[in-house]
Amino acid sequence: MSVLDEDFTLPNGNGIPKIGFGTWQIPAGEAAYAATASALCQGYRHIDTARAYGNEADVGRAIRDAGIDRSRVFVTSKLPAEIKSYEGAWQSYRETMAALDLEYLDLYLIHAPWPWDRMGMDCRRENVLVWKAMEEILESGRCRAIGVSNFAIPDLEVVLAHCRIKPMANQIRFFVGHAQAELTGFCQHQEILVEGYSPLATGALLNDASLAAMARRYQASVAQLCVRYVLQKGVLPLPKSTHPEFIRQNAQVDFILSEDDMRSLDARKSTA
């Protein structure tokens, strides 16, 4: 059995495949369609997109065309970061579903606690209103789990204090040298699944000589080492690639990093 066949469990009991295919920065059109199709063909059963990526229509078409039963593919999308009203959340959800052309989502996330062009802005009140819409979308059966992305501890605390249903996942930037120990620990303590985007630091780790030396000891590539590291932190990696060979390789991570190597990776300072 490969890691591609294994699940983490969300707080509501639903399984979520342990490796997801990330589609951030894959251009809309043929590139997004082909990359998603390639991932599905190679056994990925978890696809992560967002309204803001602009590629939902192509990702959805690739999922529909793959001929895999819908219940066997886990699909995530995200509410754009700039949408901070209850009505806006519902409206954007409908747009996402029209673009994907799927019946339901497996996971719907608030993309960020603040609009990207006003990072750090205090939107705590607005996030509580948006979260109410997320809860209703969940309860209406239109998606199977809800969560957040890029939320720091104070952002989460406000939602946790006002919610009826707790966020089930927090998708954050996570890679060797940027493991966000405090935030990850907080989420895991709250039983919020942490998902890691940019597990290869968007490529910045790939030419690192010391990582290459460690990877060789496992007969793995640096990319595989990085994906494996994320998994062993109990975090769900979302590697992205447009090349079928890389897509295949990134999911072949059936080796175990030693405790010593994990410690040494934990101790690395971020270079990205």
Under the binding rule (CB under 6 A), the answer on residue 243 touching ligand A2P is yes
Under the binding rule (CB under 6 A), the answer on residue 252 touching ligand A2P is no
Number of residues that bind ligand A2P (CB under 6 A): 18
53 part of the active site = yes
| CB of residue 37 to ligand A2P, shortest distance in Å | 15
Among 165, 246, 262, 264, binds ligand A2P (CB under 6 A): 246
Under the binding rule (CB under 6 A), the answer on residue 223 touching ligand A2P is yes
Among 28, 153, 206, 212, binds ligand A2P (CB under 6 A): 206
Among 188, 190, 242, 264, binds ligand A2P (CB under 6 A): 242
Under the binding rule (CB under 6 A), the answer on residue 196 touching ligand A2P is no
Q: How far apart are CA 51 and CA 12, in angstroms?
A: 24
Under the binding rule (CB under 6 A), the answer on residue 83 touching ligand A2P is no
Under the binding rule (CB under 6 A), the answer on residue 149 touching ligand A2P is no
Under the binding rule (CB under 6 A), the answer on residue 29 touching ligand A2P is no
Q: How far apart are CA 56 and CA 98, in angstroms?
A: 9
User: Active-site residue among 53, 108, 197, 229?
Assistant: 53
Question: From residue 248, how far is each of 42, 58, 99, 149, 203 by CA, in Å?
Answer: 6, 20, 27, 26, 16
Question: In terms of CB distance, is 42 or 202 closer to ligand A2P?
Answer: 202
DSSP string, the chain: --GGG-EEE-TTS-EEESS-EE-TTPPTTHHHHHHHHHHHHTT--EEE--GGGT-HHHHHHHHHHTT--GGGSEEEEEE-TT--SHHHHHHHHHHHHHHHT-S-BSEEEE--SS-GGGTT---HHHHHHHHHHHHHHHHTTSBS-EEEES--HHHHHHHHHH-SS---EEEEE-BTTB--HHHHHHHHHTTPEEEEE-TTGGGTTTT-HHHHHHHHHTT--HHHHHHHHHHHTT-EEE---SSHHHHHHHT-------HHHHHHHHTPPP--
Question: In terms of CB distance, is 24 or 186 closer to ligand A2P?
Answer: 24
| CB of residue 247 to ligand A2P, shortest distance in Å | 7
| CB of residue 219 to ligand A2P, shortest distance in Å | 14
Question: In terms of CB distance, is 102 or 215 closer to ligand A2P?
Answer: 215
Among 155, 241, 251, 253, binds ligand A2P (CB under 6 A): 241
Q: Which residues bind ligand A2P (CB under 6 A)?
A: 22, 198-203, 206, 221, 223, 239-243, 246, 249-250
Catalytic site positions: 53
